Amino acid sequence: MTDTRLKPIALILLDVDGVLTQGEVIYNDAGQETKAFHVRDGLGIRMLLEAGIQVGIVTGRRSMALVHRCRNLGLTLVRDGIRDKAAALADILEETGIAAAATAFVGDDLPDLPIMRRVGVPIAVGDAHDLVKQAAVITTRAKGGQGAVREVSERILKARGDWEPLLSRLFP
């Protein structure tokens, strides 16, 4: 069953800690921050990009691990170290020319609420804070950092009718 709410999505924005990662902040012995990203989420992001859907990052933290991951995935709409996520959303919408109604955001915690209230399709990961789940119109089965972004990616691609053609083209 496809979700018609996802059909108009032209832009998906993602929080990082708790969405693309399990929410842990890990420091190595040299004091450098490291992060673990799920490879299935990465493929989901690449498939969205391949289908012409823009993908961006809006996160409160800065880290070199994120910079490297975004570079690896080809993401250029990256806003890190953001205190005002609603302002970051407005900036991205102006830059892309995409309406808030055609935008989805995937979040997990309280700092995500302002942006979730302003997009067309607010989405919570399965282990999100209860208030975030209440603000969402969709909650994933998967937890953050454990394939939630891939789950959302597939649902968007299926709703738009892009899933089967993309599979045929990318994995003949």
171: number of Cβ within 10 Å: 6
Is 130 known as a binding-site position? no
Query: Tokens representing 126?
Result: 């399965």
Is 71 known as a binding-site position? no
Q: What is the pLDDT of residues 3-60, one digit of tens each?
A: 899 999 999 999 999 999 998 888 889 988 889 999 999 999 999 999 999 999 999 9
Burial (Cβ within 10 Å: 0-12, 13-18, ≥19) of residue 25: exposed
Range of the domain at 136: 4-170
Q: Total domain count for the chain?
A: 1
Is 61 known as a binding-site position? yes
Is 80 known as a binding-site position? no
Q: Residue 100: which of 80, 114, 81 has the closest Cα?
A: 114
H helices of the chain, in order, are 39-50, 64-73, 85-96, 113-116, 130-135, 148-159, 163-170
Pairing of strands 26-27, 33-34: antiparallel
pTM: 0.95
Is 108 known as a binding-site position? yes
**Half-sphere exposure for 120 (CA within 13 Å, toward CB):** 17
Q: What is the pLDDT of residues 125-151, one digit of tens each?
A: 999 999 999 999 999 999 999 999 999
- Looking up residue 106, the CATH number of its domain turns out to be 3.40.50.1000
